Structure formats: structure tokens, C-alpha cells
Chains A and B, each alone.
Chain A
């Protein structure tokens, strides 16, 4: 969460400001109050002492105090009014201490405007639009101290804006301003934040800007679960850029972990548990992409032993677990290889030398032959001392199943369609076709395709690193025998037996 918001610092500042205010008030406030109180008591005492006005000539009060008889009633009134007002003041300070003042409200809103107005022409045009849009503070006055209604009004107006506005380019900024005002007026109206975020995310490809909007609302509503969940969901959409993918997955995982933490703080219930499960599924998916294999493996292990889940689902989890675990082993070994290389300037000849150092790490290797580390699928870990790359054959095999299917479907549906039903002579021809075809506007490859054969759309080299075996007559690429799902996932079937 670092870099997005730092709740501890801001909250601390706010608390500090409030404490300062009350300390100052206490210094002179208490004295003034006691003086007032003493005066009121004095007045009431006078009321008791001064003899009451007698209307009888004979009994008319004499003496010094007697001269004030006329004022007796007025004195009583003043004293009582003062006393009651002081009472009211006491209660008022109590209320103010509980609720606090608005103090220096978060200036994120004003700062944003300042930033925007500092640059060029387009912003000047926007400024003209801003003029007609009331800001939070003025709305407070117009609504005569009813911020809730003012927020509602801004919300409804923003909807009109979504529907009516023609300026697509500036729509996001204007809507952001609307929503920021709504949240400023009514910081705890989380529903508005969620719906607003959804609208913004539909308009704006820049996920981080929307995330910033969410984080403001999350800061104001620390216990809320839906907001960080939506923030995480922002990043579940796969981006076009591969580098961003990892970044996105990391953001999503962070937000979802926060959600799970918050959920765990709630009392146990069926609903809560199923919610936690849903979020963990998402994390699991993200985790693999962020190289957080350990986390993924852990989650999948728990999931596949969860008796409340159906058998079929658990088997699926088991297969995913094999994958994650193999990746975990491979990445752990890869890290050690890289460390070795950094200190010895070349990669180790075989893995045996570094395996010893790994033995101390608990839970890492369950069924493990000292010399030859195996992955979860049962294959030996592949290591090439020339390149220094560690790989899991099982993982590659799993990828190969998908990739082969995709390549075959490209041949069968797309290629053959454009070549009157004839398969390509070889994969080079196929590659040329693929390059040309998918670069045409409107023919972008689907995420299924890019997930299987990568962004570069390489149809020649298989996930094993070697070229596909292509059968020109059938028009299909062939996978090695270990790519049979039954054999590949036999370990999973052992872990979650059919019966």
C-alpha cells in the first residue's frame, strides 16, 4: 500500500491538529467558564440574600440590601440564564470533541485543480467549465448545512453529465471532479464511490487514476470491504502491455489481500467464508502472474482440501497446484543459480551443488531425490548450465497443451478459411500468415491466444523451447506423449482421488 496512501501519517496529523485545538481551547476556555460560573452563582446568591419586594408600606425592606429589592427578580433571571447557558456550553464542547471540526480538509481536491490550471490551453477551456460547477464548500453553505443532500444533488448532476456531455476527451476529468466533490461532502457514502469508480473505469484506460480515486475513499472508510475489492478488480483486466501485466497483478493482489484481512476481522459466517473464497480465487489467478508462487501454492493447497467445494472444482485446484508448486520449485532454484552466478561469474555445472543449501528450507521439497530435484508433476527439473536457466518440464507441458490447441485452432479455423481449406506447408508459412493476419486493424488476437502463445504470437517454438513437430497432412502440431492430461496430472488425481 506504500505510495498510494499512507493512512498512519495522515490520520496522525489529523489527530494532532484536533488535540492542538482542544489544548489551546482548554487553556483559556476553562478559566473563562469558571469565571462565568462563579458570576452566575453570585447572582443566584444575591437573589437569595436580597429581601423580596414587599408591597406593604410597613414591611417595606430597609437597609442597604433593601434598595435592590426591585431588581431581585431580574437578578434571578440573569443568574439562571447564565447558568443554563454555561451548562449548554459544556455539552457543546463535549459534542465538538466527539465529532471534531472539519479542520483542514484534505486539500487533494484543490491541489488537483491547481495542478491542472498550471499548464496550458486545454486546461483553460476546462476551467471555464469548472466555473459552473460548485465546489464542496460552497455547496455546504447553499444546502444550509445539509452535506448529505448536497452530495445527493452532485451525484444526480454527475449522472446527467455522463449522459449529456459531448466532450469525450474531458469527460473523465469532469466526472472525477464531480465524484471528488460528492466524496468531500459525504465521505462515508461508499456506494457512490463504488459506482463512480465503475463509471470512471469504463471511461478511462488509465487504471492508476481510478485507483487514486478509490484510495481516497478507502482512506476515509477504513473498515469498508467493497472499496478495496473494486480497486483490486480494476486490475484484473489484462492490459495490452506485458510489463504492465505484472504491475497490475501486483496491485490487484495487494488490494485483495487487504480485503481478506478485513474479512478475517469480521465474525465467522457462511457468507463471509464464501466471500473470502471468492477473493482468494482471484488472488490465486493473479499470484501466478506476479511470480508470487508461494502464495498461490498455499492458497491452492487450502482450496483443494476444502470439503465444501465440489469434487470437480477441487481436482481443478489440484492441477493448478501442481503448476504453482512446480513454478515455486523452479523459481527457488533459479534464484539460487543466479546468486551462484553472481558470485562465481559462471553458472554451476549441475544443480547438485546448490541443492544442499536448499535442504534447510522447510516445506520446499516433499518427495525429493537428493541429486535430482523433481517438480510436482514428477518430472526432473530441467537445467541448462550454458544458459543457467531452470525450468519445470511439467509446467511447460501444461502450457504446451494449451498452446498446441490454440495453434491448431488457428490453422483449422483462420488459416484454412483464408486458404481454401488447405493447411500450411510448414510453420514458417503459418507464422507469416499469423503475423500478417493479426496485425490488420480489427483482427486483434484475443486474450486466450496471447495467454497461450504469448504477445509475440510465436507459432513456431513450443513452450518447451524447441520447435513444434508439425504434421503437414493433418495440419496439426503434435505434442509429446507426456502432454496427455491423464498422465500429466496423475499426481493431482492422487491428491484428490475420484472416489
Chain B
């Protein structure tokens, strides 16, 4: 599947010339700052917004046609539903909108409620749902008509770790069922865990794309050595080589920035009579990669929606709408 959206949204260019390669049956992560253009892209794909220039296709059918959406399932960030409808009625309603007839809807509703463990909340109106339940129902309505492509916008926003765990499992089960999942997220650890491929968006430009393994260099950034049997004062020669060294009362820890130095320190520690307890290499994580890549490509000038990340390790801002 190939996408070529390019648009000018209002006075700002939200997305430039984006081409994405999403293989069938994969889980594809879509990453970027708040305001990088993720949600705009997704809205164009889903038909909520219209590209001012260029076209977009999904599975060889243009996104502007309503037929395209038969193959699509979408869940927006923080999905809202009609408060007075029960879970069952909500699913029934969305089933109708997806063009399913009554027996299919009924069967599917039962399946989904069981799958997402919402059976107990079948007759409960939406206003009494918790955040986690809402998210699960949002996923349920997205896949109610078993679309080959499922697009999710920040599916794990605002969830507690248990909720995130649930959603992760659901996404994995979708892949197992042969469906392609495309989702955007801030939570890079989750993305790292489940995605096959990612794309990083910065100020509306694509700055990286590919399988995670190929993006992450695998280069060792730091190594942390922990040894016992070293006196509290520590080893000055180790400390010279290290970024940091400290004694926590039980063990002596040394942080170095390369594998050679790590072996040197290891030798020093053993020479001093200590016992090496742990040696942990720290490879570049997705988060670090992300920060590196977005900082390097920070655009300047009037098109900038946000400044580049603040500080060395930019934490994702509060979950918000871009």
C-alpha cells in the first residue's frame, strides 16, 4: 500500500509529501511530536479532512470514496460515544453504519463483547464506562466489520499500565488474525514492543521509516558494570574512565560509554578484588533514536509548528491532540 498525501492545512503546512510503505499483516507505528502532523495524516486517510493538494489511496482506492472505508476501521483518540446508549446498542449502531445486516450485527456484537471482556457491561450506558472500557469499546467498533486495515490514533493514551497491556494484546491478536494495524503513538516503549515497522514524522516531514531493527543501530551507548567487594571509596582509575561511578553501600557501579572502556574497567575491578555482578550494555532505544532523529531535523522558519524537543532527553509532552 502506498500513500502520497501532501497538503496545506490552513496557514500551516501540516504534512509534506508523505509516502508510507505498510506491508500487509504488519503492525505499523506512526511516530512524531505533538503537532508533527500524525493526526492530520490519519484524518485524511479516514476521510475526515481533505488534502488541499495531492491524492491518497488505500489498497488502490482513493480515500475520498466512501467505498474505501469498507476496508478501513478507525478509532480516534479519546473516542466519544452517545452517552445514553448501552454498549450493545453502540455496537449495533456502528454495525448498521458499516452496512451490516441484523443477524451479522448480533453475532458480531456477541463476539466482540466477549473478546474485549465487556460482557458484563452489555446493558450499561456509556456514561458509566471507565476510560479503559471506553478504549476497548472504541477498538471493538473499529473492527466490527472485520476490515483488513485498522487505523488507530493514540490507542493507548490515558490508560493505566493494565489498560495498555490489554490494548497491546488486542493489537497483537489482530495481527494474528491477518489484519494490518496502523497506529500512532507517543508511548515509544509500547511501539518498540509490538511494531514491525515504524515511521517518524517531524514537522510534517518523514524523517525515518523502516523496520525497527534496521533503524536502531544496535550501537552500544553505555555499559553499566556492577561489582561487589569494592570498598566504599571506590576505584579512582575506574572513575577516571567512567562517566559516573558510585557506591550504593552494597555494590560499586560504574557507567562507561564504550565497550572497550567497559572491558578495561572490568579488568580493574577484578584486579581490585571485586566480583563482577552485572554488566549491562545499553543500546539505543527507540526513544533515544527518536529524539536524535527529530533534533537533527528540527526545521526552522515560519513552517515550524513547535520548536525541537526541549533538553537532551525530550520526554513526550502530555497526551494531547496535535
Contact = CB atoms under 8 A, between A and B. Distances in A.
A and B touch in the complex (CB under 8 A): yes
Interface of A: 55-56
Interface stretch (B9-17, B54-62, B198-206, B265-273): B54-62
Contacts of A56: 60, 62
Secondary structure dominating the interface of B? loop
Contacts of B168: none
B64 interface: yes
B260 interface: no
Given A55-B57, A55-B64, A55-B65, 5 more contacts: A55-B55, A55-B61, A55-B62, A56-B60, A56-B62
A55 B65 CA distance: 8
A55 B56 CA distance: 9
A56 B60 CA distance: 8
Contacts of B57: 55
A56 B55 CA distance: 10
A55 B54 CA distance: 12
B211 to A, nearest CB: 28
Interface residues of B, number: 7
B174 to A, nearest CB: 27
8 contacts: A55-B55, A55-B57, A55-B61, A55-B62, A55-B64, A55-B65, A56-B60, A56-B62
Question: What 3 A-B pairs have minimum CB-CB distances, sorted nearest first?
Answer: A55-B62, A55-B65, A55-B61
Secondary structure dominating the interface of A? loop
A209 B177 CA distance: 96
Nearest to B56: A55
A18 B2 CA distance: 69
A60 to B, nearest CB: 10
A56 B57 CA distance: 9
Contacts of B64: 55
B177 to A, nearest CB: 28
B115 to A, nearest CB: 34
Contacts of B65: 55
Nearest to A54: B62
Contacts of B55: 55
A156 B55 CA distance: 69
A55 B57 CA distance: 8
Nearest to B61: A55
A116 to B, nearest CB: 66
B268 to A, nearest CB: 66
Contacts of B62: 55-56
Interface string B45-67: 00000000001010011101100
B68 to A, nearest CB: 9
A55 B62 CA distance: 5
A470 to B, nearest CB: 104
Contacts of A55: 55, 57, 61-62, 64-65
A299 B60 CA distance: 99
A55 B4 CA distance: 13
A96 B24 CA distance: 65
Nearest to B60: A56
A66 to B, nearest CB: 15
A210 to B, nearest CB: 65
A55 to B, nearest CB: 3
A351 to B, nearest CB: 104
A56 B62 CA distance: 7
A306 to B, nearest CB: 76
A56 B65 CA distance: 11
A122 to B, nearest CB: 70
B102 to A, nearest CB: 32
Interface in B194-253: none
A55 B66 CA distance: 12
Contacts of B61: 55
